[in-house]
Structures are given as C-alpha cells and as structure tokens.
C-alpha cells in the first residue's frame, strides 16, 4: 500500500468515525438535558409543597438520575471511543500525506485543512482529559466531519514539490503555529456559540413596544428566544458564565499563538522577499484577525463588555479567520496565492 492510499483510507475512516461520534455525542447531550429537565420539574414539585408520599424519594432521585445519564451513558462511551479512534486515524492520514509529499503536510489548503481539523479534535481531547467538556463534542466532531469531507472531495490535490518560497524552516515554524492557533480558536468559537445560545434561551421574553424599528427588533429577538427555548438539549450545556470562562481561556491561548504566527510570518517574509510587510492580502487579513481578537480580549476584561457583546466580537474574529483561509486564498491574488492550490 502506498503512502497516498494509506492517507486517503485513514482520512476517510476518520471522517466516518467523527460522524458517528457526532451522532453519539448529540444523543448523550440530549440524554443529559432530559435528566436536568426532569430534575428541575421534581424540584419544582417539592418546592411547591407536593403531598405525594414519594416526595422525599423524588427530591433525591433527579440528582442520581442525572449522574446515571451522565456517567453511564452508552452514547457517551461510543462518542469518546470513536472520537479517539478517529483522531488516531486522522493522525496516520496526516503523517502519510507528509511522507507522500516529502515535506510537512501543510503547504496547501487541502493539507492545512486535514491538519487543522485534526488539531481541533486533539485540543478538545486534551481539554476533555482535564475537565468534562463533552457538551462541545457535537460541535467539534461536526466541524471535523465537515472539514474533512470538504478537504477530501473539493480541496484534494496530488502532492507536489514545494515552491522556492516555501523551502524554508519557517514553513515548519510559521504554519504549524498558525494551525495550532486555528484549532484552539475553533474550539473556543464553538464554546462561544453555545454561550450565546444558552444565554438567550435563559432570558425571558420582552414586552413588544408599539411601532418603530424597535418593535421589529424585539419581535425578532422574541422569535429567536422562543426557538431556543424549544431546544431542550441546551439544558445539557453549562451556564453562560462557565462557557464564557472556558471560551476566554481558549481564545487567550489562541491569541498568543496567533501573535507569534504574525511575527514569524513577518520574519519569513523578510527572508523570502526582502521586506517584513508588503500589504499582501494574506498579511492584511492575518493582522485584521489579530486586531479583532485583541479587541475581544480587551472587551472581555473591560467592565460592561463581558458577556454577549464580547462573545460577538470573538465570533467576528472567527469569521475573519475562516475568510482568511477561504476567500483570501481563493479570490485575492498575492504572494500567498500558492496556499490556495
């Protein structure tokens, strides 16, 4: 079996395992949410002074039911094992691609995607080993499944030799750090999305004013809140405050790494092209991403900006990150055009 065949089979196998993990982790999240909803209902009955003879048992049973749903869920075990197996297979696929290409596998969009999604999964597994963040698993595995699927069907290209500008040790330093930063920021973005969804779901409906644009805005907001209130699986995720704290830590680490990415890119540009900065589209967008995440970190630590507003800034940064990888690579012409091949 050639390295190309091994890489292809391993990556498709990882895609299938991630899809299974996504379904299983979603089922587990729904089961945990159902247990939490049942516990809330039982506590409400007891607080209301229910005369049921089994009230004492009911008051204690929700917590034990939740623990059973959380710890002994078969779906959770399936999700965890298939995710680990998928990460191992994807790692084999990435290494085999590097052997096939004869260089580190992150010189094209295809190689960046298969490596970046793998890093995002590994980041999740590392965090999961230190604390329970299984509620992020559906989002992480969904992102990995989509990313690998697009890479294998749309972005795939045969391995070729490196262009002269890429034949440098800075390829290993600059791009590897960018990939790690992207993986961490991806997991942080997933946590931020859940934070906003849970925050709006927990908010009561607002009274609709009469007339004006504010009336339309409030009605639109209430409609979204009603939809989120119907999604009981959101009960399976932590409070917005806990999600925000987790997202902030991930974004802070990702920002530090992205700072190093921009700096290393400038040094590499001086080595390759004789200048540190040339207003190339890729350079500009990388700096824009840095500015947005710097604004997020500042907003998050400034009184009055923590919560939804800083979360929106973080998501804007992630959108800019995705645009830097897709639109800038495929649409704009510049010295980094080779990264879109």
pLDDT score recorded for residue 22 = 95
| Exposed e or buried b per residue across 298-317, where buried means at least 16 C-beta atoms within 10 angstroms of its C-beta | ebbeeeebebeebbebbbeb
| Exposed e or buried b per residue across 135-171, where buried means at least 16 C-beta atoms within 10 angstroms of its C-beta | bbbbbbbbbbbebbbbbbeebbeebeeeeebbeeebb
- Evaluated on CA atoms 147, 149, 151, 155, the torsion sign reads negative
- Closest of 4, 12, 61 to residue 38, by C-alpha: 61
- Closest of 12, 8, 15 to residue 157, by C-alpha: 8
CB 330 within 8 A of CB 319: no
pLDDT score recorded for residue 191 = 95
Rg (CA), the chain: 23
Q: What is the pLDDT along the chain (341 residues), one digit of tens a residue?
A: 788 899 999 999 999 999 999 999 999 988 888 887 777 777 767 666 654 544 444 444 444 544 555 544 788 889 999 999 999 999 999 999 999 888 888 878 899 999 999 999 999 999 999 988 999 999 999 999 999 999 999 988 887 777 766 677 777 888 899 999 999 999 999 999 999 999 888 877 766 666 667 777 777 777 888 888 888 888 888 999 999 999 999 999 999 999 999 998 888 888 877 777 778 888 889 999 999 999 999 888 876 677 888 899 999 999 999 998 888 888 766 555 555 55
Q: What does the DSSP 8-state code read for residue 175?
A: I
pLDDT score recorded for residue 305 = 79
The CA-based dihedral angle spanning residues 73, 76, 81, 82, taken in that order and rounded to the nearest 10 degrees: 130
């Amino acid at each position: 079996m050639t390295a190309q065949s091994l890489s292809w089979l391993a990556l498709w196998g990882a895609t299938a395992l991630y899809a299974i993990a996504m379904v299983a982790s979603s089922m587990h999240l729904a089961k945990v949410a159902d247990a939490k909803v049942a516990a809330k209902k039982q506590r409400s009955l007891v607080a209301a002074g229910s005369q049921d003879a089994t009230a004492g048992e009911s008051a204690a049973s929700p917590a034990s039911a939740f623990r059973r749903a959380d710890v002994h869920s078969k779906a959770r075990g399936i999700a965890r094992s298939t995710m680990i197996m998928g990460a191992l297979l994807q790692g084999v696929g990435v290494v085999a691609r590097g052997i096939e290409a004869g260089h580190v596998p992150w010189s094209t969009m295809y190689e960046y995607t298969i490596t970046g999604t793998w890093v995002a999964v590994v980041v999740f597994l590392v965090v999961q080993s230190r604390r329970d963040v299984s509620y992020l698993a559906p989002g992480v595995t969904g992102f990995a499944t989509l990313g690998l699927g697009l890479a294998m069907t749309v972005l795939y290209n045969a391995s070729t030799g490196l262009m002269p500008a890429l034949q440098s040790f800075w390829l290993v330093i600059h791009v590897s750090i960018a990939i790690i930063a992207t993986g961490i920021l991806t997991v942080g973005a997933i946590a931020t999305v859940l934070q906003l969804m849970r925050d709006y779901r927990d908010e009561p409906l607002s009274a609709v004013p009469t007339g004006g644009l504010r009336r339309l805005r409030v009605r639109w907001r209430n409609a979204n809140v009603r939809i989120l209130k119907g999604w009981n699986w959101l009960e399976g995720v932590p409070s917005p405050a806990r999600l925000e704290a987790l997202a902030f830590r991930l974004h802070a680490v990702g920002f530090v790494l992205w700072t190093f990415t921009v700096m290393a890119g400038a040094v590499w540009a001086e080595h390759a092209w004789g200048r540190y900065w040339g207003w190339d589209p890729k350079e500009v967008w990388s700096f824009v991403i840095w500015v947005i995440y710097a604004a997020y970190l500042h907003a998050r630590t400034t009184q009055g900006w923590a919560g939804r507003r800083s979360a929106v800034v973080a998501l804007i940064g992630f959108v800019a990150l995705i645009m830097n990888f897709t639109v800038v690579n495929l649409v704009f012409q510049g010295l980094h055009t080779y990264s879109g091949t």
